Amino acid sequence: MDILIDILAILAGFGLLIWSADHFVTGASATARNLGVSPLVIGLTIVGFGTSAPEILVASFAAYGGNPGLAVGNALGSNITNIALVLGATALLIPLGVHSDILKREYPLLLLATLLATFCLAIDNHLGWIDGLIFSIALLAIMSLVVHKALKYRDHDPIEAGYAQEIPQHMPMKKALLILLMGIIVLLISSRLLVWGAINVATTLGISDLIIGLTIVAIGTSLPELAASIISARKGEHDIALGNVIGSNMFNTLGVLGVTGLIKPAELAEGVLTRDLPLMFILTILMFIMAFGFRGHGTINRFEGATLLAIFIGYEILLYFNATA
């Protein structure tokens, strides 16, 4: 009976998390637009942060509650899920053509963030407050650079029109602020509910917090990215679909790990350096190769999407056997 309550808490947390993340992005975007912020800046910052808000809050609650393994698993697992499941499923349904110069400039930055995280974690098998501080500063620097470059080349980039269509145009300020406040409040409640249920399930089944974070929590908190990417791809906004994943992974790598390190420094659980971090790094490079377009516009085709999905399924099977062992 207790585990049933915990599972219901996880499901309710996921549902409320998706609802609140969507409302947070809508309210924040409309508020920023009413204040005169350009759609391009809103898309690259608020939308990117909003789709990663569930991971950041879940990691914060998990780390504060003394479960940093769940937080680290959520960060790495969400990145793996975003590329292998979200991009894989989206490209399998609708091949993704990449035309945005802004996105091409973001690839190297994401790769740089991944290299930084890999180096800092591998050097001592520890996520400490210095690592958290480095990651947080790096995230602010990278986002500032992305926005600066985007505004510099905005007249030549097709992604701005896509962002302009996605952001509410005529929402009154009071309504925008109310939606934003509701989104924040429910985000906090649902994140706490999800972490509570996930920790209880892990304890009951004797599974490590890391495995729970890599699987159930990572997949659940990546559902907003999956929905947003498929919807954007069906509308023909392929650059936004890919941009959602790149932005989310940037925030996960530097933001989620940064918050975790600052709140609860801890040794990394077994498997992080030998299994999860290498796979995240390999998938980041694969995404770069598939989407960059070295001889023109890049495309992630259906075969490549199926390959990414196969990697995701294989990884989940591996985690299952590791958990049962």
CB proximity list for 44: less than 8 A, separation 6 or greater: 102, 143, 146, 147, 150, 243, 247
pLDDT level of residue 100 (50, 70, 90 thresholds): low
Answer yes or no: are the C-beta atoms of 118 and 281 closer than 8 Å: yes
- Domain of 234, in residue numbers: 2-324
pLDDT tens across 267-295, in order? Answer: 999 899 999 999 999 999 998 888 876 65
Task: Render pLDDT for 58-95 as a digit per residue (tens, 0 to 9).
Answer: 999 999 988 999 999 999 999 999 999 999 999 999 99
When divided into structural domains, the chain yields a total of 1
Structure tokens at 203: 């304890």
205 C-beta neighbours (distance < 10 Å), count:
13
Distances, alpha carbon 134 to alpha carbons 141, 252, 278, in Å: 11, 14, 20
Asked whether the predicted pLDDT for residue 98 surpasses 90, the reply is: no
Compute the distance between CA of residue 154 and CA of residue 65 in angstroms, rounded to an integer.
43
Model confidence pLDDT, tens digit, residues 209-231: 999 999 989 988 888 778 878 88
- Are 220 and 238 in contact by the 8 Å Cβ rule? The answer is no
Distance of alpha carbon 90 from alpha carbon 310, whole angstroms = 14
Q: Which residues have C-beta within 8 Å of that of residue 108, sequence separation ≥ 6?
A: none
Confidence of residue 162 (pLDDT cuts 50, 70, 90): low
Are residues 284 and 110 in contact, defined by beta-carbon separation less than 8 angstroms?
A: yes
| Secondary structure letter of residue 118 according to DSSP | H
Helix/strand/coil for 23:
helix
Which of 256, 283, 286 is closest to 74 using CA atoms? 256
From CA 60, how far away is CA 258, in angstroms rounded?
10
Confidence band, pLDDT 50/70/90 cuts, at residue 163: low
- CATH number, residue 168: 1.20.1420.30
**125 vs 62: CA distance, rounded Å:** 19
Q: Using an 8 Å Cβ cutoff, are 10 and 192 in contact?
A: no
